[in-house]
Homo-oligomer: A and B are copies of this chain.
Amino acid sequence: MRIGIDVGATGIAGGIVGSEGSVMRELVIATRPERGYERIVMDIAYIINTLKPRLQENGVKIENVGVGIPGIADEKGDVIYCVNLGWKGMPLGRDLKKLTGLEVFIENDANAAALAEHAYGSMKGADCGVMLTLGSGVGGGIVIGGRLHRGFSGAGGEIGHMAVGENFYNCTCGRNGCLETFASARALERYFMKLVEYADEESSALQAVGEAGVVDARTIFEFAKRGDLLSLMAVSRLSRYLAKGIVNIINMLDPEVIVLGGGVSKAGDFLLDMTREQVEREVLYKGVRHAEIKLAEFGDKAGIVGASLIPTYNANPKE
């Protein structure tokens, strides 16, 4: 049995993960990053220490404990960077060992999500698979040779920061044209509002939420499906650039499978079909079998499940 913890900017969620990727005894604590590193570490440790005896009292051996963070960590478990939480150079793995008595492994959360999909979900068994997490930002995780591709500094898989075009605003990372500025929920919302501002066209999506309302990505997708023109234009642009990113991945890594997860992927087949069509048009070697593009199978639980798998993927290549 394994314990997985998913640390996000809003919540710290942990649970016991069963052999087929089921999550039991889930616990959630609000993150409130402004509290600072020490308090959050204590909460993570609290979750682990609460789950631990529930396993031990049943005589179950704890195989793995992993924590996914919205940042990057080195292989010793030191956090290199974690922008959303304001962390830099924190010895998270060692601190958690002190507080729990267990070896705790740290990994990027999008990498962790890719592990969940690779172990039990949409890219099960793939030798090379890539996952894109399309949320408020865009994260990525790459599995090669059945192992997580962490990269030299643990900074690999940041596919959201692949420049794929030129955009009307810069990415938070300082570059222009990052996939994240085209294919995330925030990017969709931002482009939609730009369309509203400049277009002469009325939008029923805008009317639906009222003057003071916020048109979020879900609403835009919903109205695009109903044929609202501005919503459709915004979604179509997202899909076009998403396809650009996917074709870049295909041309570069030629993986077996590319999986779309995160909130934006909840648009489902509507987005998938549009994107697949564009990929077909753009891919370099037409007629040569390329990566299947699929929706992720894990929803919100990908973080916990994936985090619990970190040590396995780091320690044991393939066999």
Contact = CB atoms under 8 A, between A and B. Distances in A.
A76 interface: no
Given A72-B285, A155-B290, A284-B158, A253 B149 contact: yes
Contacts of A244: 163, 175, 177
A152 B284 contact: no
Contacts of A128: 149, 151-152
Contact of A288 (B153, B157, B162, B164): B153
Nearest to A160: B251
B144 A252 contact: no
Interface in A106-154: 127-128, 140, 142, 144-145, 147, 149-154
Given A149-B144, A163-B244, A165-B177, A156 B285 contact: no
Please indicate which of the listed interface residues A81, A152, A175, A285 has the most CB atoms of chain B within 10 Å of its own CB. Answer: A152
Contacts of A81: 285, 288
Contacts of A163: 164-165, 244, 247-248
A202 interface: no
Contact of A80 (B177, B247, B288): B288
Nearest to A150: B254
B159 A251 contact: yes
A252 B254 contact: no
Contacts of A250: 155
A36 B275 CA distance: 38
B247 A156 contact: no
A162 to B, nearest CB: 5
Interface in A249-282: 250-256, 281-282
A35 interface: no
A174 B286 CA distance: 11
A25 interface: no
B159 A252 contact: yes
Please indicate which of the listed interface residues A127, A145, A162 has the most CB atoms of chain B within 10 Å of its own CB. Answer: A162
B151 A253 contact: yes
Contact of A291 (B152, B248, B252, B289): B152
A282 B175 contact: yes
B251 A152 contact: no
Contacts of A177: 164-165, 244
A288 B88 CA distance: 11
Interface of A: 72, 80-81, 127-128, 140, 142, 144-145, 147, 149-159, 161-166, 173-175, 177, 244, 247-248, 250-256, 281-282, 284-285, 288-291
Given A72-B285, A159-B252, 9 more contacts: A144-B144, A150-B254, A151-B253, A162-B248, A164-B177, A165-B165, A165-B166, A174-B282, A252-B252
5 contacts: A80-B285, A140-B252, A144-B149, A149-B253, A164-B177
Give the top 8 A-B pairs by smallest Cβ distance, nearest first. Answer: A151-B254, A156-B254, A158-B251, A155-B254, A161-B251, A162-B248, A152-B256, A161-B284
